[in-house]
Amino acid sequence: MPELKLLIPREQLEATLERLSGEINRDYRGKNPLLIGILKGSFIFLADLIRRLEVPVEIDFVQLASYGMGTETSGRVRVKRGLSIPVRGRDVLVVEDIVDTGITVDFLLRYLKKRRPASLKLCALLDKPERRRVPVQIDYLGLTVPNKFLVGYGLDWGEKYRQLPEVWAVE
Ligand code: PRP
């Protein structure tokens, strides 16, 4: 069992959700955005975020896999589970739990861009800039986090701990 230390308490997550949903409500007023969550990590963030949105949204999911060994990614990504709603002409907002090396979202943004959305933006709850390997523009950013292994609020450690209501650092 790893030792966990509380990093982001529930109240801070809620304040962050409030701020991000406010920005999205403002920017997408009068639009019908297609939100795309990256499985599995984003499912809790996405679920909490959309319940604060006042614009009519549609939801889709994509699951990506990297060919890495263990915790280090090789930098090559493939689609494990694809989209079910066409993105052409849509205002697409990718929703991600954490941007680490940036390889996952960089791949997805390129993949989506080829399918000609009307607009394409990224919302990420957490950003770990120290680990970045490819530059990523985060249009809606929640919180910047230190270079620690994080669990909870959708993030896992060997598929466990996703259900924790807060974000914890593995010591
Ligand atoms: C995690 C996280 C992001 C990605 C970020 O997913 O949820 O999708 O890694 O890392 P990157 O910026 O270095 O690409 P993971 O591959 O662990 O799958 P999961 O979401 O199913 O836990």
Tens of pLDDT, residue by residue over 25-58, are 999 999 999 999 999 999 999 999 999 999 999 9
Residue from 169, 159, 165, 139 nearest 45 by CA: 165
- The response to whether residue 104 sits with its C-beta less than 6 Å from ligand 1 reads yes
Residue 13 predicted with pLDDT over 90: yes
Nearest alpha-carbon partner for 11 in 171, 168, 166: 166
pLDDT tier for residue 66 given thresholds of 50, 70 and 90 = confident
Nearest one of 166, 167, 158 to 128, comparing CA atoms: 167
Q: What is the pLDDT of residue 131?
A: 96
| Digit-coded pLDDT (tens) for 75-118 | 789 999 999 999 999 999 999 999 999 999 999 999 999 999 99
Is the pLDDT assigned to residue 120 strictly greater than 60? yes
CA distances from 44 to 32, 88, 135, 163 (A): 21, 26, 25, 8
Global pTM reads: 0.95
For 64-88, letters b (16+ CB in 10 Å) and e give bebeeeeeebeeebeeeeebeeebe
pLDDT of the residue at 156: 97
Buried-exposed string 128-137: b where 16+ CB fall within 10 A, e elsewhere = beeeeeeebe
Please name the residue whose Cα sits nearest to atom 6 of ligand 1: 41
How far does residue 30's CA lie from ligand 1's centre (Å)? 32
> Which of 62, 97, 148 maximizes ligand 1 atoms within 8 Å of its Cβ, making it the mutation to test the pocket?
97
Residues 151 and 162: their CA atoms lie apart, in Å, by 7
Q: Tell me which residue has its CA closest to atom 15 in ligand 1.
A: 41
Ligand 1 lined by 40 (C-beta under 6 Å): yes
Identify the pLDDT of residue 1.
81
Ligand 1 and 61: CB distance under 6 A: no
Cβ of 97 below 6 Å from ligand 1 = yes
Whether 91 is catalytic is no
pLDDT in tens, 123-165: 999 999 999 999 999 999 999 999 999 999 999 999 999 999 9
Q: How far is CA 127 from CA 42, 83, 117, 143, 161, in A?
A: 13, 24, 25, 6, 19
Which residue among the candidates 48, 91, 100, 106 is catalytic per the annotation?
Answer: 100
pLDDT of residue 117: 98
How far apart CA 75 and CA 24 sit, in angstroms, is 30
Contact, 83 vs 62, CB < 8 A? yes
